[in-house]
Amino acid sequence: MDPVLVSLDAARCPGVLRITLNRPEKLNAFTTALHKGLADAMTRAETDGAVRCLLITGAGRGFCAGQDLSERDMSAAAIDLGEGLDTRYNPLVRRMHALPKPIVCAVNGVAAGAGANFALACDIVLAARSAAFIQAFVKIGLVPDCGGTYFLPRLAGTQRAMALAMTGERLSAEDAERWGLIWKCVDDADLAAESEKLATQLASGPTASLGAMKKAIYDSANNDLAAQLDLERDLQRQIGKGKDYREGVAAFIEKRKPRFTGS
Ligand code: LHQ
């Protein structure tokens, strides 16, 4: 069984590359093969102009239970967890952040360990009401990875980040929404339709402008106001040269819906 399903269904969700983690019997825990599937999907997202938004979800009752703990060689000589981060997790998170296209995540069930932080690395996160986020690392004597110590304090504040990491307590999707970790918690039965609707809307949007928003908002974490104002100017200058800006203004003047092409 393919550990990652990748599809672009032009009839159902035009412009949306759907990426489904597909090891439902193990709650879609990361293996080397699953990472390879994700890396290939990212390459397609980066190079295929027909892809204008990503939609990531999980098959079955879980979203992702983090690293598959049965795949690790536990002999003392073999343990180098940094290697897995260097070669698989960290490049994945960097590529997701750098991708100049929006990434929607539909968290369909439990998201634990690196699975929780993989979800938080997406640009807009929806979660089913029955889903939960667990910083499970403390339970096996590790530290949050996959960007967790970067995203959590920025999204939820230092106190909440610290307590989530140190206790490994389960955070419900409702609380995750209340705390600002995710965009929306929706009824389980509505998750697929809501996330497809959002991804399809973004895929028909001004892609270059969405990509620039992503860069500006993420870079703001490391910029002072002066640098951020300069960045906004540079991005606006660049985006203003695109066809979508002209189309947006023309549509406004002509009192019609814009037809953005992503250029
Ligand atoms: C799993 C897993 C799993 C294998 C469920 N592995 N089988 C770590 C090390 C190295 C380098 C880089 O980074 C990392 C980062 C990390 O991600 S560390 C954190 C790893 N993840 C965890 O510690 C979470 C472990 N899983 C759980 O605590 C529970 O499964 C949760 C709370 C996610 C869900 O609980 P339940 O709903 O009760 O499901 P379950 O425990 O019965 O799991 C269902 C099946 O999935 C079961 O298999 P089985 O054959 O017995 O039916 C589990 O063994 C398997 N599974 N997580 N990470």
Exposure string (b/e) for 216-255, b if CB count within 10 Å is 16 or more? beeeeeeeeeeeeeebeeebeeebeebebbebbeeeeeee
Can you give the pTM of this predicted structure? 0.97
pLDDT at position 73 is 74
Yes or no: say if 52 and 37 are a contact pair by the CB < 8 Å rule. Answer: no
Residue nearest ligand 1's atom 58 by CA: 68
pLDDT at position 72 is 77
pLDDT at position 151 is 98
Gap from CA of 111 to ligand 1 centroid (Å): 10
Gap from CA of 208 to ligand 1 centroid (Å): 38
pLDDT at position 57 is 98
Pocket test for ligand 1, best of 67, 108, 169 (most atoms within 8 A of CB): 67
pLDDT at position 177 is 98
Gap from CA of 205 to ligand 1 centroid (Å): 37
Q: Which amino acid is at 227?
A: A
pLDDT at position 263 is 84
C-alpha 1/C-alpha 25 separation (Å) is 11
Site residues for ligand 1, CB cut-off 6 Å = 26-27, 29, 65-70, 81, 84-85, 89, 110, 112-114, 134, 136-137, 139-140, 142, 145
Q: Which CATH architecture has domain 4-203?
A: Alpha-Beta Complex (3.90)
User: Ligand 1: which atom is nearest the Cα of residue 110?
Assistant: 33
Gap from CA of 30 to ligand 1 centroid (Å): 10
Exposure string (b/e) for 8-43, b if CB count within 10 Å is 16 or more? beeeebebbbbbbbbbeebbbbbbeebbebbeebbe
Residue nearest ligand 1's atom 6 by CA: 68
pLDDT averaged per 10 residues, the chain (length 263): 96 97 98 98 98 98 98 79 96 98 98 98 98 98 98 98 98 98 98 98 98 98 97 98 97 98 91
- Domains of the chain, by residue range, sit at 4-203, 207-254
69, containing H or E segment: none
